[in-house]
Structure 1
Amino acid sequence: MLASLSIRNIVLIDRLDLNFEAGLCVLTGETGAGKSILLDSLALALGARADLGLIRAGEDKGSVTATFSLPNSHPAFELLQDIEREEGEPLILRRIISSDGRNRASINDQSVSTGLLRSVGETLVEIHGQNAERGLLDARGHRALLDLYGRLEKQTADVSKKFLTFEVLSEQLTEAEEALEKARVDEEYLRHVVDELEALNPCEGEEEELSASRAAFMHAEKIAEALKDAQKALNDHGGVDGKIRNATRAVERVVEKASGKLDPVLDSLERAAIELSEASMTIEAVTHDLNLDQSGVEQVEERLFSLRAAARKHKCEVSALPNVLEQFRERLATVEHGDAEVKRLQLEVAAARKEYELAAGHLRDKRIKSASKLDAAVMAELGPLRLGAARFMTAVTELAPDQWSASGMDRVEFQIATNPGSNPGPLIKIASGGELSRFMLALKVVLAQSGSAPTLIFDEVDRGVGGATADAVGERLSRLAEKLQLLVITHSPQVAAAGQSHWNIQKMSQSGSTRTTVERLEDDERREEIARMLSGASITNEARAAAVSLMEG
């Protein structure tokens, strides 16, 4: 409930601190005293649009602070999981507007966006009056209110679960159908690519091995060239072997004359001839081997270039070609086996849809029965509120399949017809200002335990009624206040007399300045205020006696 409201420098209010109680709180005062300022101030704290015209003349800023006392289970706290708060601590909403256009919002002294402030505010207070656009007037919330009234939480949860299953499977089917269609269009291309890559048969790490082999072949070519040069050097100009033979013959001609001194020379020349012969044969053997190995370089290069060409074609690294092949195989498999997958999903979607339709249809039956009970209960409240000629009905209509949701297949809207024979229509469009407030009151009395905000504000719910009708309004407000906190701005003495706490709003002029004040009234003061409401400016003893009678009644 709203525990307190502090206002600083808002229109005619310079400084005001109000502490509210549970039950029915009434606010009375002369027309133009400033009752609307209180509503505008509270709405500002609840996240309404900031109007710089609300700042009191001569001041650079204005502020409103609303403090709420709430149970820990209140839905507002689901929106405030990032706000630090001790258990049992009150919820404090504050709004500050400055003449320079700055606008600050906070909850428990922690800065928040005005959007979050508004969302939280909607769970705390509902304002019903001439310009109300929230709560029961919003048809988007009527379905949830009907479900709460009919205690259909179990059925709505079952429908929500089945819709989620149906929705997920439908998305999977759509994806499978799109993939199959695309695969069919590309089937010929896919087969060509798979055949091409399978023929190529790329292996992981193959590029590195081929590059290493190619590099080795390149070195072998240089070695062969060097051996060729060496062989040429040995054989050019008669060759080294010929020179050794010539040298040997020259020594042999005089060896006998040298008394054995030339024997070592001949031995050396013989060894040289042998070594030279072995070197030449080794060069020939190595050259021959190199020539044999060189025959594989073309194969290595051809394989390497083929792999790199395929990688360029598919815009990837050579090392990724095996994965590319696997991906194309999977896409081709989608074509070959996609029909079966699509058919499987089609069966599952059809089954899920059927389960959803059955659950949603059962929920619709429950809603129609609950709507009938709700209509009867509201109609029972309309007669005493001088709306006996009006008709209230809860329209439950079936939505088109593309509008089905986790909430079911129905649209729910509260409708009224204020004149006999007229067609029913939305509350906000059919009811006049005074009628609208009384319709809101009748609905709230019936829906009091159906998830309402803990604080309701009725702005002149008694407009245009008096006598027995005003008594009925007061009695219903008292009943509703047994479950919720009500703040009622009223000009009706019957309604004022029903209040558990009473506040009087006055406008005062002093020293050239006008300001609005709010004073809590005790028993004698309440009697005088209700007597004033009964008789006008001149309060008579008869009016006082009538006020006492109303208060005691």
Structure 2
Amino acid sequence: MLQHLTIKDFVIVDRLELEFSNGFGALTGETGAGKSILIDALALALGERADAGVVRSGCDRAEVAATFDVAPLPEVAAWLAANDLDADNELMLRRVVDAGGRSRAYINGSPATVQQLREVGEWLVDIHGQHAHQSLLRNDAQRALLDAHAGLGATVREVGVAWKTWRDAEQALRGASEGVEALQREREQLQWQIGELDALAFGDDEWATLDVEHRRLGHAASLIEGAQYALAVLAEDDAACERQIDSVADRLAGLAEYDPALAEVAELLGSVQAELSEAVSTLRRYADRVDLDPSRLAEVERRMDAVMTNARKFRVQPPELPGLLAGWRQRLAELDESADLAALEAKVATAQQAYLSVAGKLSAGRKKAAAEMGKAVSEVMRQLALSSGRFEVALPAVAGGAVYGLEQVEFRIGGLAGNEAKPLAKVASGGELSRISLAIQVLTSRSASVPTLIFDEVDVGIGGGVAEIVGRLLRELGSERQVLCVTHLPQVAAQANWQWQVSKATRNGATLSAIRPLDDDGRVQEIARMLGGVEITDITLQHARELLNLRVLA
């Protein structure tokens, strides 16, 4: 669960250090005090999009750090290990945004990506925004909600992959059927080109070998002359180096008997004699081997000319010809496969059957979850003064299927405007829609494994006794996991196990937001303010105490 949150220079917050408790907590305060800023800051640490607007005016950067107890979440430890990040019973997510809008992310002190924050955040916190009921009017949101509630995420992804495979197979068949003549012309062109290079039989490293041999054969006369000249100077002339060095070495060796200082020079000359002798031997072997071979030179030149002709024909460099041939062969194999319409039709049928199989599995899961969800949401609706309403999840078929399966998901309501169940958007008023949305969120949160749930003014449009019931529902959730609710309703706040008050003040010319925990007396005062407005009377305070006592007695 969420343990600690540090916020620095974020919007109108200069610095906040918040310690969270378990159970149900309420965040209250006057309109505009910045109640939702805490939620926005936490969302930033969980990987939400960042921009320069979150940096407090006049500051260089904003920073948010959230610490979680993840000891009961082995999947988080596994994820951290898989991503080469330090794992412990505590997890810290940190986000820094500078005044230019650039952001940096950290997990347990190590640099991370925003995508990694989002991934690990899915196991930690579930935030229900104040406008969540608006998304419930969209079929895609309804479908996603049902699938998530039923734990069908993996099956949905399988269906998407199977759908793409089926569509790709159909596209290949359609392309082959529509372009038979063009494909045939391409096949003939490729066959001719491959035949040309097959006849050339040009190897991968042949051009480099030909180039070396051509340079050697083309300069054979110079090579022979140079080798003979070197042998003459080094060993064969009367004044050859070898003889001269031998004479000097013998002379110094004799003189070294009179002065040992010359012994070192004589020894060095001995080394020179050995190396010079080896060089002369190597030169003689080379001179014996190298010769003029005009016929071989002509043969190499003819081969290089044939290679260059093909390279110019196909507009590549000579060393690129083998790779070009390999590419043509691969393309010809693909065309041969695409020309087999029967094989392509079989692939389409196989892919279709695979899609229908996994989509059928998804349909079965949705059908079961739809019935359970309809019954459960209807029960919560009755608690929220919608006793005449009936919630249903319809699964109208989609002709031919779709990337998301064989059916659409449609939330329907019966009993509010006639007995016949109709789409949610056509039946519910604004206040009813808000309550229905809350019922769905409470239900889906109960089935989720996320340890921390945050509700950001989801009780908009609710009041009176219904508000008290909403508070009780949230408190019930708080007995199972950590719940935080931003609310303007005293009936909801009074049901909380703990409460924070958000206030706004001007300091040194800057408007700043602050949050303080409330003790029992502070809660009475805050609930009274929420009940009575500007002037708090004894009657208002008594009413506040009664609301808080109802929580204790419930």
> TM-score interval w.r.t. the shorter chain?
0.5 to 0.7
Residue 353 of structure 1 and its aligned partner are, at CA, apart by: 1.0
Structure 1 residues 167-316: aligned runs within 5 Å: 182-186=182-186, 189=189, 309=309, 312-314=312-314
Separation of aligned partners in 2, 1:366 and 1:416:
22
Query: Residues 418 and 31 from structure 1, CA distance in 2 versus in 1: closer, same or farther, beyond 3 angstroms?
Result: farther
1:494 and 1:550 in contact (8 A); partners too: no
Partner of 2:362: 363
- Residue 240 (structure 1) aligns with: none
**Deviations 1:468-498 (Å, cap 9, x if unpaired)?**
3122212211222233321112233332232
State the shift of 1:381 in Å. Answer: 1.3
- What is the CA distance between 1:375 and its match in structure 2? 2.0
1:308 and 1:374 mapped to 2: Cα distance?
Answer: 74
Structure 2 partner of 1:394? 393
Structure 1 residues 533 and 313, CA, compared in 2 at 3 Å: closer, same or farther?
Answer: closer
In structure 1, what is the Cα distance between the partners aligned to 2:334 and 2:127? 59
Max Rg structure? 1
Q: Displacement of 1:533 after TM fit?
A: 4.3
Unaligned runs of 5+ in 1: 220-293
Matching residue of 1:374: 373
Residues 449 and 197 (structure 1), Cα distance of their counterparts in 2 relative to 1, 3 Å cut: same
Change (3 A) 1:157 1:64: closer
The residue number in structure 2 matching 1:20 is: 20
Amino acid at match of 1:371: A
Q: SS of 1:86's equivalent?
A: coil
- Of 513-522 and 171-180, more deviation after overlay is shown by 171-180
Letter in 2 for 1:17: E
Judging changes above 3 Å, is the alpha-carbon distance between structure 1 residues 323 and 101 closer, same or farther for their aligned structure 2 residues? closer
Instruction: Using the TM superposition, give the Cα deviation of residue 73 of structure 1 relative to its aligned residue in structure 2, in angstroms.
Output: 4.1
Change (3 A) 1:62 1:315: closer
* Aligned twin of 1:94: 95
Q: Please say if residues 445 and 479 of structure 1, whose CA atoms lie closer than 8 Å, have aligned partners that are also in contact.
A: no
- For the residues of structure 2 that align with 1:298 and 1:29, how far apart are their CA atoms? 97
One-letter code aligned to 2:402: W
Partner of 1:143: 143
Mapped to 2, the partners of 1:60 and 1:302 lie a distance apart of 72
Q: Displacement, 1:343?
A: 1.6
Out of 440, 443, 455, which is 1:443 matched to?
440
**Unmatched 5+ stretches in structure 2:** 222-293
Q: For each residue in 1:397-441, what CA deviation from the matched residue of structure 2 results, as whole angstroms up to 9, or x when unmatched?
A: 44465x733x533443546689615995567x9867655543332
1:331-381 per-position Cα deviation (integer Å, ceiling 9, x unaligned): 87888x658844223213313312322431343244234223312221221
| Aligned counterparts of 2:103 and 2:389: Cα–Cα separation in 1 | 44
Note the C-alpha offset of 1:127.
3.5
Give the Å deviation of 1:24. Answer: 0.9
Q: Which residue of 1 aligns with 2:482?
A: 485
Does structure 1 conserve the Cα–Cα contact (< 8 Å) formed by 2:79 and 2:120?
Answer: no
Q: Deviations over 1:91-117 (max 9, x none)?
A: 32333444x656544333344455654
How many pairs are equivalent?
470
Name the counterpart of 2:67.
67
Q: What is the CA deviation profile of residues 46-95 of structure 1, one whole-angstrom value per residue up to 9, with x for unaligned ones? A: 44455656555665544332222334445697599546222323232333
Q: Identical aligned pairs, as a percentage?
A: 38
- 1:119-149 per-residue CA deviation (whole Å, 9 max, x = no partner) reads 6556643433444599978754543442343
Distance 1:149 1:193, change over 3 A: closer
Question: What residue is the counterpart of 2:383 in the other structure?
Answer: 384
Q: 2:67·2:90 contact (CA, 8 Å) conserved in 1?
A: no
> Structure 2: how far apart are the matches of 1:514 and 1:179?
69
Are 2:72 and 1:85 equivalent residues in the alignment?
no
Tell me the distance in 1 between the aligned counterparts of 2:444 and 2:354.
Answer: 31
- Report the equivalent of 2:241: none
Equivalent pair of 1:444/1:480 in contact (CA under 8 Å): no
Letter in 2 for 1:89: E
Normalised to the residue count of structure 2, the TM-score between the two structures is: 0.65
Q: CA deviation at 1:25?
A: 0.8
Q: Summarize the Cα distance change of 1:10–1:538 in structure 2 as closer, same or farther, 3 Å threshold.
A: farther
What is the distance in 2 between the residues matched to 1:5 and 1:300?
A: 78
**Shift in CA distance, 139/201, structure 1 to aligned 2, threshold 3 Å:** same
Q: Relative to structure 1, is the Cα distance of residues 140 and 4 closer, same or farther in structure 2, using a 3 angstrom cutoff?
A: farther
Name the residue aligned to 1:498: 495
Q: Do 2:36 and 2:486's aligned partners in 1 also have CA atoms closer than 8 Å?
A: no
* Structure 1 residue identity aligned to 2:384: L
Residues of 2 paired with 1:323 and 1:12: CA distance?
A: 63
Residue in 1 that maps onto 2:348: 349
Q: Is 1:457 aligned to residue 454 of structure 2? A: yes
**Which residue in the other structure is 2:3 paired with?**
3
Tell me: CA distance 1:56–1:154, structure 2 relative to 1, closer, same or farther (3 Å). closer
Give distance in 2, aligned partners of 1:520 and 1:478: 18
SS state of the match for residue 346, structure 1? helix
Q: CA deviation at 1:3?
A: 1.5
Task: Classify the secondary structure of the residue corresponding to 1:386.
Answer: coil
Q: Quote the Cα distance in structure 1 between the aligned partners of 2:51 and 2:328.
A: 63
Give 3-state SS (helix, strand or coil) of 1:448's partner: helix
Q: Alpha-carbon deviation of 1:443?
A: 0.9
Name the CA distance, whole Å, in 2 between partners of 1:101 and 1:306: 61
Partners of 2:459 and 2:128 in 1: CA distance = 12
Q: CA deviation at 1:528?
A: 4.7
Three-state SS of the structure 2 residue aligned to 1:8 is strand
RMSD (Å) for aligned C-alpha atoms: 5.1
Give distance in 2, aligned partners of 1:490 and 1:4.
21
CA distance in 1, matches of 2:44, 2:300: 81
Distance 1:364 1:95 in 2: 44
Task: For 1:404 and 1:103, locate their aligned partners in 2 and report how far apart those are by CA, in whole Å.
Answer: 38
Question: Matches of 1:170 and 1:73 in 2, distance apart?
Answer: 43
C-alpha contact (below 8 Å) 1:491/1:533 kept by paired residues: yes
The question of whether the paired residues in 2 share the 8 Å contact of 1:94 and 1:107 is answered with no
Deviates more, 1:311-320 or 1:483-492: 311-320
Asked whether the equivalents of residues 416 and 428 of structure 2 are also in contact (C-alpha less than 8 Å), the reply is: no
> What TM-score do you get using the length of structure 1 for normalisation?
0.65
